[in-house]
Amino acid sequence: MDDLAAPLTRLIEELKRLPGIGQKSAQRVAFHLLRADRERVQNFADALLALKDQLGFCGVCQNITDIDPCRYCADGGRQRDCICVVEEPANILNIEKTREFHGLYHVLHGAIAPLQGIGPEQLRIRSLLERLRAPEGATPIREIIIATDPDSEGEATALYLARLIKPLGIRVSRIAMGIPVGSEIEFADEVTMLKALEGRRDL
């Protein structure tokens, strides 16, 4: 590293901080950018800065957005009495890909993780509860779908939210868990199979 020019070393060090990028990958990207024409590098730098300058949180659902409220909250065609609660903004994209859910979202930005000391106060739960107290004339919320990860942290978060929301008389449901499509029952463990049986449906 001492043999490289200071700006190149600096870029490599910055790239190495990104997830999944080690020394060799960082060097490859740095040399690629060095060889690229100035306009392309400028576009790349602008795109990075725009992330910080133009994006913020939606004041309603806490999704990451460049407009407030975000396009899901502002869309008058969506079902406004149902909110799907997710851990991360990226989860919304997966749900949207199904084209089956037409309600609103709420992003918690994490899950209750006792082993990491992450409690409910570090998540965007207060803003969710504020949404449930609909002002006069607004559509009351009838259902909350909890779409947190099917692991111990996601389950803890779901349980916590259910404890808070159920007393408000709002239906609280949890996305189904079980056998992934395309896999085989033969390889399912007991807890996955149990969850699949619990979440079975009539045909």
Partner 1 sequence: MPLREAQAIVLRTYPLKEADKIVVFFTREYGKCRGVSRGARRMKNGFGGSLEPLSEVRVGYFERPRKDLVTIDRCDLESSMMQLAGGDMTRVLALAYIAEVADRMLPEHEVNDASYRLLRLVLGRIREGLPVWLPLTYYLYWMVRLGGFMPSLAACAGCGVAIEAEQAAFYAGDGSGLRCRNCRPRQGNELAASERGLTGLLARSLAELPGDGWENGRRGRELRRFLHAAIEAQIEAQLKSWKLLEELENEPGI
Distance of CA 15 to the CA centre of its chain: 24
- For partner 1, the closer of residues 136 and 184 by Cβ is 184
Give 20 or 77: the residue with its C-beta nearer to partner 1.
20
Closest separation in Å from C-beta 78 to partner 1: 27
Q: Minimum Å distance from CB 8 to partner 1?
A: 25
CB 101 to partner 1: min, Å: 18
How many angstroms separate the Cα of 91 from the Cα of each of 25, 43, 108, 146, 165?
27, 27, 11, 12, 22
CA distance 143 to 16: 43
Closest CB to partner 1 among residues 12, 161: 161
**Closest residue by Cα to residue 113 from 141, 77, 148, 146:** 148
Cα gap 26→32, rounded to integer Å: 10
- What residues make contact with partner 1 under the rule CB under 8 A? 19-20, 112, 114-117, 119, 150-152, 155-156, 159-160, 163, 180, 182-183, 187-192, 194-195
CB closer to partner 1 out of 114 and 199:
114
